[in-house]
Amino acid sequence: MPRSAALLLTLVAFSIARDPLSAQSTVATRDVTDTLRLYYVGYPVGYERYQISTNAAGIELRDDFDYSDRGRRTHLVATTQFDTRFSPRSLEIVRVTDSATTLEASVRVQARRATVIARDDTAVVTLPTNAFAIVGNTPFVQQMALVRYWLANGRPSTVAVVPGGPTNNVHVALRGSDTLNVNGKRTVFARYSIEGVVWGTHALWLDEAQRLAAIATAGGGGLSFDAVRLELDPLLPEFQARAAKDRVADLRRWTESIPVLAQGRVAFTGATIIDGTTAEPLRDATLVVDNGRIVAVGPRASIRIAAGTRTINATGKTIIPGLWDMHGHLMQVDWGPAYVGAGVTTARDMGNVLPFILPFRDAVHTGVGIGPQILLAGLIDGGGPRAFGAINATTPAEGRAAVQRYHELGFEQMKLYSLLTPEVVAAISSEAHRLGMTVTGHVPNSLSLTAAVDSGMDQVAHLQVRGVAGSDSVTRTIEYLRVHGTVLDPTASWGELLQHSTDQTVASFQPAVDLLPPVLYQRVSRMGGNVDTATANARQRNTLGIIKQLHDAGVPIVAGTDEGVPGASVHRELELYVAAGIPARDALRYATSVPAASMGLAYEVGTLQPGKRADLVVLD
C-alpha cells in the first residue's frame, strides 16, 4: 500500500459538517508562543517561532521565520499590530542577513487607507470593508491571523489583501474537521482552505484554541512549502494527505462542470495536420477517432466517414499532437486544467511531495480530474543540511532502497540531485535499469556531465553543457552526448525568466503573463536578475547557440519549463528553439514525438497515426 494511503488510515474521523469553533462568537485572544517546523519539498529546512500578545488595546504578533534551502538562508522577522478582532493596524517584515537588515514590506492602516511599501515601491490603497495585510505565503503565521480575522469578522466571502495589485481577493472557507491521535489523545483540528494568498488553494489547520497546527501544499506556482507545529511534526504526512484529498475534490468539481464536446466516433475535417513526424504538413485533411483511438488520417478526399460519425468542421484550423512538458513541478491541482487549456496533455513531474502528487496523478489517470497524463521522476539527493527533497541516500544500499520504493509507487524515472556521491549514483542507476526505469536529473556535484552519463544517467535536466557555443570543448561534449543517446531538457524558458535583466519586463517576451491570475502574475513578473540587458541577452544567445548545436548534432531534446508559467512556458520554450534557428517542425517534435520516445511511449502517443491514442490539440 502506498505510504500516503496507509497514513490516511490513521485519521480517526472526518466530518465536513462539524465546526469545532462554532460555539465561539469571537476569535480566541489568549497569549501564545509556538514553534513551527518548516518543510520545503518534504525536507526539513528550518523553524518559525512566533508569539501572540494581547492587551486591552489589541493584539501583537511577533514572528521569526528562518530556513535554509540548499544552503541559501532566508531569515525574516515580522511584527503585526491588530485590533481586538484581528483587523490589521500595521505590518512590517524585515529581511535579516549577517551584515544587514532591510525592509521587505510595510503596511500602515488608518481609516480604510493603507500605506504600502513593497520592494521599494510605495502606494496608498483604499481598502474595502473586509481587508487584511499579508505578504505572500510566508511567514506562515500571517495566514493563521488571516483565518482568525475571517472568523472574527463574520466569515466574509472575500477578503481584500495588501500588498496586491492594489489588492488581491482572498477566499477563506471551513472545509471540515479532522480528529487525530496526538500522543494518545484524540485532538480535533479545524481544516480551512485559503485561496488567493498564492496561486491556487492550500490548507491550514487550527486546534480548538485556534493555535496553528499545520499548513500544507502552499506552493503557489513554485515548489511546495509546508509547516507543522513542532510537537505535531510526526503528523505532517497526515495533514498533507488530507489537504490533497480536499484539492482533488476541488478538481473533481471543476471536471464535472466541463461539458463533453464529443465522444465515440468523431471526424475532424478540412484541417491542416502536423503529425509530429518529419513529414510535411497535410492540408485539407481528415482525422477520424473511434473511442479514443485514431483510426484514420489522410487527405479529406481519401477518407471515408462512416454513417453516424460526429463530424467537426476544422477548416482553417491546425491539428497537432498533444504537447508535453518534460520538466514540471505540479504543486497545485490548478496545474491540471491550466495545462490542458494550453494544449499540454502530458507532463513529467520532476520532484514533489508524495502525499500530494500520488492522489493528483491517480485522479487524472482515472478520469476523476481534468489534467495531462502525469509521469513521475522520483527525486533523490544526498544527505546533510544542503540536501533537497524528502528522500535522501548516502550509501548504495539506501539508493537502491529508494529506487525500489519509487518503483512500487509507479514512478517511471529516478531524478538525481546535486549531493549524491559517485558510488550512490551508480547504485541508483543500476537498480533503476534493473527495474525498467530510466534515470534523469541534475548532474551531481561529484561528477562531470560525461562521468554522470557513464554512471548510468539516460537523460539530463537543464542545459548542463558548459562553455561557449561552437567552441571545441562544447563540440566534444555534444558529440559524446550524441554517441550515448543522452536526452536533454534545456529549460531555456525557465532560464530566461530567472536570468533576464529586470530592466526588461517579463511581458515583453512572455505576453501571456498579463492574462494570469493576479498572484501568479505578481510572482512571475518579479523574476529576473540584477544584470544589464546587454549581458543577459548575450548569455541567452549563447544558450540558444548550444541548443542549436545539440539539434544539429542529433542529440534528443525535450521541452521542459520547471517552475514557469503553466502551459504558456511550453509555448515560449518552443519559440526559443525556433529563435535558435531550429525549424519549427522540429521544435514541435521536441514537445511531442521526441519526449514520447524518450519515455518509451512512442507506440501510444506523440504522433497522429492510426492505432495511437487520440492525444491531439486543435489550434486556431
* pLDDT for position 29: 62
**The pLDDT of residue 372 is above 90:** yes
Containing 535, the helix (H) or strand (E) segment is helix 533-553
Are 339 and 347 in contact, with CB atoms under 8 Å apart? yes
* pLDDT for position 17: 33
Per-residue pLDDT, averaged over 3-20, amounts to 31
What is the spatial distance between Cα 421 and Cα 446, in angstroms, rounded to a whole number?
6
454 exposure class (CB count in 10 Å sphere: 0-12, 13-18, 19+): middle
In this structure, of 25-29, 439-443, 595-599, the range with the lowest mean pLDDT score is 25-29
| Beta-carbon count within 10 A of 253 CB | 10
* pLDDT for position 217: 77
The mean of the pLDDT values for the chain is: 93
**The pLDDT of residue 251 is above 90:** yes
* pLDDT for position 158: 97
How many helices (H) and strands (E) would you count in the chain?
15, 29
Q: For residue 164, give the C-alpha cell.
A: 496586491
| Residues contacting residue 100 through CB under 8 Å, at least 6 positions apart | none
What is the spatial distance between Cα 147 and Cα 194, in angstroms, rounded to a whole number?
8
Query: Is residue 368 classed as helix, strand or coil in its secondary structure?
Result: coil
| Residues contacting residue 608 through CB under 8 Å, at least 6 positions apart | 273, 275, 276, 287, 294, 297, 319, 320, 321, 616
Share of the chain above pLDDT 90, in %: 91
Per-residue pLDDT, averaged over 425-435, amounts to 98
DSSP one-letter string for 448-481:
-HHHHHHTT--EEES----S-TT-HHHHHHHHHH
Query: Is residue 204 classed as helix, strand or coil in its secondary structure?
Result: strand
Q: For residue 571, give the C-alpha cell.
A: 509555448
**Which residue(s) pair with 266 in the sheet?**
289, 310
pLDDT band (50, 70, 90) for residue 50: very high
Per-residue pLDDT, averaged over 214-232, amounts to 89
| Residues contacting residue 301 through CB under 8 Å, at least 6 positions apart | none
Residue-wise pLDDT for 581-614, tens only, equals: 999 999 999 999 999 999 999 999 999 999 999 9
* pLDDT for position 165: 86
* pLDDT for position 218: 66
Residue-wise pLDDT for 334-346, tens only, equals: 999 999 999 999 9
Block residue for cell numbers 542529433? 554
| Beta-carbon count within 10 A of 505 CB | 14
Residue 17 has φ and ψ, to the nearest 5°, of: -85, -30
Query: Is residue 157 classed as helix, strand or coil in its secondary structure?
Result: coil
* pLDDT for position 393: 98
In this structure, of 24-33, 331-340, 394-403, the range with the lowest mean pLDDT score is 24-33
* pLDDT for position 12: 28
pLDDT band (50, 70, 90) for residue 222: confident
pLDDT band (50, 70, 90) for residue 120: confident
Are 97 and 76 in contact, with CB atoms under 8 Å apart? no
**The pLDDT of residue 368 is above 90:** yes
* pLDDT for position 462: 97
* pLDDT for position 270: 98
**The pLDDT of residue 267 is above 70:** yes
Q: For residue 560, give the C-alpha cell.
A: 521542459
Block residue for cell numbers 531550429? 582
Q: For residue 99, give the C-alpha cell.
A: 551584515
Residue-wise pLDDT for 519-554, tens only, equals: 999 999 999 999 999 999 999 999 999 999 999 999
* pLDDT for position 2: 33
Per-residue pLDDT, averaged over 253-271, amounts to 95
Per-residue pLDDT, averaged over 72-83, amounts to 97
* pLDDT for position 28: 59
Residue 13 has φ and ψ, to the nearest 5°, of: -155, 155
Per-residue pLDDT, averaged over 172-196, amounts to 96
pLDDT band (50, 70, 90) for residue 6: very low
Per-residue buried b or exposed e for 274-290, using 16+ beta carbons within 10 Å of the residue's own CB:
bbbeeeeebeebbbbbe
Block residue for cell numbers 513531474? 349
**The pLDDT of residue 3 is above 70:** no
> What are the C-alpha distances in Å from 428 to residues 22, 86, 379, 394, 443?
52, 51, 11, 11, 14
Per-residue pLDDT, averaged over 200-222, amounts to 90
Q: Which residue type is seen at 159?
A: V
**The pLDDT of residue 290 is above 70:** yes
